[in-house]
């Protein structure tokens, strides 16, 4: 193999292994990590250097030979390569045609104005392809028509079901991916307990342990300044209240999952009676996305109030 083939082949094998072993997301590793690019450039330079050294050593050794040995070596180098030989003979075997010298064996005995016909064998590549397609057909028939294997629609269905499961699994492991658009009310006891702890450490100073309110508004009533429901509450916690009111943006110090936990916890104050409730501030909040039935009962509640 000449060196202009050898160098790129070795280089791309190494680059492939590097790319395969380094987890670089959807970008190639050498773009994401400049060190990788540097490493690959070094590898390329080293391979070229090795090639250059080996060929010059070869050259020196060659010059040191006497004339007879030189001639022997050159004639050896000009022998056709084994690989090319093998490809050639396999190709001829697959064609299965007789050499012209043996054609008299297979010539048919008719003759139309000098046009004669050879009784060639079918070429082996064709025959084997034919057998393979027969075997394929039998397996295909058995699988899809006898044993009712999944067709493409069913495959799509089951892929979609699997994808849903995968997404759920992913969400479970990536809780911190939530923001105020995707957050949902957490009901898990562990999450609520964590939320309570976060509330007691960070929020009681202004909202009181029972949510009755102090510097911050009452969290137990239906009135919300910045909107109720998990999404609005999460947004308030994460982005903070109105300027100058004292409610900071907690996304600086709490993780998304922690904000979801504390938001879910404080929504449990709804409807409870705190020791010293602060007067209601803001508007009564009605969940527009709630099922129709619920909206009606809430509207009735408002009338009663
Ligand atoms: C320094 C006092 C202070 C602390 C600490 C504080 N808040 Fe507040 N909070 C406020 C004030 C003041 C408001 C009203 C903001 C406004 O009017 O824009 C508020 C508003 C809110 C609201 C919106 C209430 C509504 O009616 O819309 C929520 C929810 C809330 N806080 C949750 C929290 C949580 C959770 C914590 C702890 C992680 C916390 N707060 C910590 C002062 C505080």
CATH number (domain holding residue 250) = 1.10.760.10
Whether the Cβ atoms of residue 36 and residue 29 lie closer than 8 Å to each other = yes
Residue nearest to atom 16 of ligand 1 (CA): 241
| pLDDT at residue number 173 | 78
The residue among 237, 113, 260 whose CA lies nearest residue 183 is 260
Question: Helix (H, G, I), strand (E, B), or coil: what is residue 150?
Answer: coil
Whether the Cβ atoms of residue 206 and residue 214 lie closer than 8 Å to each other = yes
| pLDDT at residue number 215 | 93
> For residue 99, is it within any domain?
no
Which is the closest atom of ligand 1 to the Cα of 203? Answer: 37
Query: For residues 64 and 55, what is the distance between their CA atoms, to the nearest angstrom?
Result: 14
| pLDDT at residue number 304 | 52
> For residue 295, is it within any domain?
yes
Q: Is the dihedral of CA 63, 64, 67, 69 positive or negative?
A: negative
pLDDT in tens, 58-93: 999 988 988 888 888 888 877 778 888 999 899 888
| pLDDT at residue number 72 | 87
End position of a domain, from candidates 54, 77, 100: 77
Describe the crossing of helices 256-267 and 189-202 by its angle, rounded to 10 degrees: 90
| pLDDT at residue number 277 | 93
| pLDDT at residue number 300 | 53
Q: Residues lining ligand 1, judged by CB closer than 6 Å? A: 199, 202-203, 205-207, 215-217, 224-226, 233, 236-237, 241-242, 245-247, 250, 262, 266, 282
Mutational test site, ligand 1, from 180, 217, 222, max ligand atoms within 8 Å of CB: 217
Q: What pTM does this model have?
A: 0.52
Query: For residues 62 and 85, what is the distance between their CA atoms, to the nearest angstrom?
Result: 27
End position of a domain, from candidates 47, 77, 107: 77
- How remote is the CA of residue 247 from the centroid of ligand 1, in Å? 5
Describe the crossing of helices 3-21 and 34-63 by its angle, rounded to 10 degrees: 150
> How many domains in the chain?
2
Find the domain containing 296 and state its range: 189-304
Residue nearest to atom 12 of ligand 1 (CA): 216
Task: Tell me how far CA of residue 277 lies from CA of 16, 116, 215, 225, in angstroms.
Answer: 66, 111, 12, 16
Whether the Cβ atoms of residue 186 and residue 249 lie closer than 8 Å to each other = no
> For residue 193, is it within any domain?
yes
> For residue 263, is it within any domain?
yes
> For residue 287, is it within any domain?
yes
- How remote is the CA of residue 191 from the centroid of ligand 1, in Å? 20
Residue with tokens 């408002």: 302
Residues lower than pLDDT 50 in the chain: 294
Helix boundaries (H) for the chain: 3-21, 29-32, 34-63, 67-77, 82-95, 124-141, 152-173, 189-202, 204-207, 229-239, 256-267, 292-304
> For residue 60, is it within any domain?
yes
End position of a domain, from candidates 77, 97, 125: 77
The residue among 8, 88, 76 whose CA lies nearest residue 43 is 8
Residues ≥6 apart with Cβ < 8 Å to 34: none
Tokens of 218: 């009452």
- How remote is the CA of residue 174 from the centroid of ligand 1, in Å? 26
Tokens of 222: 């239906």
> Rounded to 5 degrees, what angle do the CA atoms 16, 18, 22 make?
125
> For residue 35, is it within any domain?
yes
| pLDDT at residue number 109 | 87
Query: For residues 225 and 241, what is the distance between their CA atoms, to the nearest angstrom?
Result: 9
> For residue 251, is it within any domain?
yes
């Amino acid at each position: 193999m000449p060196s202009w083939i050898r160098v790129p082949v070795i280089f791309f094998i190494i680059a492939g292994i590097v790319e395969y072993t380094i987890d670089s997301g959807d970008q190639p590793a050498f773009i994401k990590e400049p060190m990788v690019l540097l490493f690959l450039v070094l590898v390329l330079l080293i391979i070229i250097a090795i090639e250059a050294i080996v060929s010059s050593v070869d050259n020196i050794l060659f010059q040191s030979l006497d004339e007879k040995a030189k001639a022997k070596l050159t004639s050896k180098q000009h022998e056709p390569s084994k690989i090319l030989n093998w490809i050639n003979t396999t190709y001829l075997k697959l064609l299965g045609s007789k050499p012209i010298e043996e054609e008299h064996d297979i010539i048919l005995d008719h003759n139309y104005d000098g046009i004669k016909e050879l009784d060639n064998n079918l070429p082996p590549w064709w025959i084997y392809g034919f057998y393979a397609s027969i075997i394929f057909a039998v397996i295909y028939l058995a699988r899809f028509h006898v044993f009712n294997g999944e067709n493409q629609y069913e495959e799509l269905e089951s892929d979609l079901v699997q994808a849903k499961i995968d997404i759920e699994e992913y969400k479970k492991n990536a809780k911190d991916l939530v923001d105020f658009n995707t957050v949902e009310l957490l009901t898990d006891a562990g999450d609520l307990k964590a939320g309570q702890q976060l509330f007691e450490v960070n929020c009681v100073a202004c909202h009181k342990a029972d949510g009755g309110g102090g510097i911050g508004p009452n969290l137990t009533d239906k009135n919300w300044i910045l909107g109720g429901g998990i999404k609005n509450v999460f947004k308030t916690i994460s982005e903070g209240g109105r300027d100058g009111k004292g409610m900071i943006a907690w996304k600086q110090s709490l993780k998304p999952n922690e904000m979801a936990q504390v938001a879910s916890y404080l929504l449990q104050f709804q409807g409870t009676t705190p020791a010293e409730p602060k007067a209601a501030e803001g508007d009564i909040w009605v969940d527009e996305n709630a099922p129709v039935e619920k909206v009606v009962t809430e509207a009735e509640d408002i009338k009663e109030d």
